[in-house]
């Protein structure tokens, strides 16, 4: 897949510089946050409820705009993107939302296929990819079920399948295992891990220590909208 945001591994994909986000009237969700994410990195974003994790991911997928500061993707100031360029950049980001954002009356297949149809994939390729993702996530038997009739954990996995469907260069996953048992958590993390090994940059916002405690990936912690980076923590000690 060609991509606007693919480039050599030794440069950063995302640069967030002194970003502040306030919601009306005066809620400071992010306070002077600076961080970079390299091409092909997997990064965990942690912090208690209300710390600002979802807000940070929303800024990266253009659902919210920073109040102050700069966000660059592939060294392009995203606040300067509009129209076609913004649309193109957006298509290169797969997002698994904390609140799923599925179409409840559409089936599992339709929800995932819709994300692929906008990229003009062929029906054959779409079917093959959807079947593969559902098998990976333990959902093969739900393919024709409307997503409104699924459990929360099943809906969560559909939203992850949709985020991964186009093999985007960047995946943002907001609490991707929040409703899952350990077996389903392992399926999701294996899928994300494989995509990361293939070069996908992945940012995971999570409360779930089990998914990052044995990992070597970078851990970034938010506290009251302020960022603290923990380079490497050995939880086994
Ligand atoms: N649309 C909004 N309008 C006003 N305040 C908001 C809005 N969205 C988030 N906030 C506030 O911003 C702060 C950060 O919220 P955010 O959703 O980013 O936290 P979070 O770390 O994702 O929390 P959680 O772990 O519960 O998902 C909180 O104080 C929240 O109440
Ligand atoms: Mg959140």
Distance CA 237, CA 107 (A): 46
What's the 206 CA to ligand 1 centre distance in angstroms?
A: 14
Among positive and negative, which fits the CA dihedral 178, 223, 190, 87? Answer: positive
Pocket probe for ligand 1: among 21, 23, 49, the residue whose CB has the most ligand atoms within 8 Å is: 23
Query: What predicted TM-score, i.e. pTM, was given to this entire model?
Result: 0.93
pLDDT tens-digit map of 195-218 = 999 999 999 999 999 999 888 899
Ligand 1 site residues (CB inside 6 A) read: 23, 27, 29, 47, 49-55, 98
pLDDT of the residue at 43: 96
pLDDT tens-digit map of 138-188 = 999 999 999 999 999 999 999 999 999 999 999 999 999 999 999 999 999
Residue 42's nearest CA partner among 222, 198, 186, 210 is: 198
pLDDT tens-digit map of 27-58 = 999 999 999 999 999 999 999 999 999 999 99
Nearest 5°: CA angle at 187, between 103 and 36?
80
What's the 126 CA to ligand 2 centre distance in angstroms?
A: 30
Pocket probe for ligand 1: among 20, 54, 228, the residue whose CB has the most ligand atoms within 8 Å is: 54
For residues 86 and 113, the answer to whether their CB atoms sit within 8 Å is no
Distance CA 5, CA 46 (A): 25
Please state, rounded to an integer, the average pLDDT across all residues of the chain.
91
CA 52 to ligand 1: nearest atom? 18
What's the 70 CA to ligand 1 centre distance in angstroms?
A: 20
What integer is the mean pLDDT of 14-31?
Answer: 97
Taking a 5 Å cut-off on Cβ, the residues next to ion ligand 2 are 53-54, 98
């Amino acid at each position: 897949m060609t991509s606007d945001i693919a480039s050599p591994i030794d440069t950063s994909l995302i640069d967030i510089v002194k970003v502040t986000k306030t919601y009306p009237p005066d809620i400071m969700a992010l306070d002077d946050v600076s961080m970079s994410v390299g091409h092909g990195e997997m990064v965990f974003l942690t912090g208690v409820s209300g710390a600002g994790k979802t807000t940070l991911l929303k800024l990266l997928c253009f659902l919210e705009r920073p109040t102050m500061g700069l966000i660059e993707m592939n060294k392009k100031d995203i606040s300067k993107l509009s129209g076609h360029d913004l649309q193109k950049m957006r298509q290169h980001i797969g997002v698994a939302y904390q609140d799923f954002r599925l179409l409840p009356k559409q089936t599992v297949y339709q929800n995932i296929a819709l994300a692929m149809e906008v990229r003009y994939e062929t029906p054959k390729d779409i079917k093959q990819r959807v079947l593969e993702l559902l098998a990976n996530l333990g959902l093969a038997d739900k393919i024709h079920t409307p997503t409104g009739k699924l459990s929360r954990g099943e809906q969560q996995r559909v939203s992850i399948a949709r985020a991964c469907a186009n093999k985007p260069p960047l995946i943002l996953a907001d609490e991707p295992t929040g409703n899952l048992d350990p077996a389903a958590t392992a399926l999701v993390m294996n899928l994300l891990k494989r995509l990361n090994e293939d070069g996908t940059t992945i940012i995971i916002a999570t409360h779930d220590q089990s998914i990052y405690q044995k990992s070597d990936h970078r851990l970034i912690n938010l506290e009251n909208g302020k960022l603290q980076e923990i380079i490497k923590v050995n939880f086994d000690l």
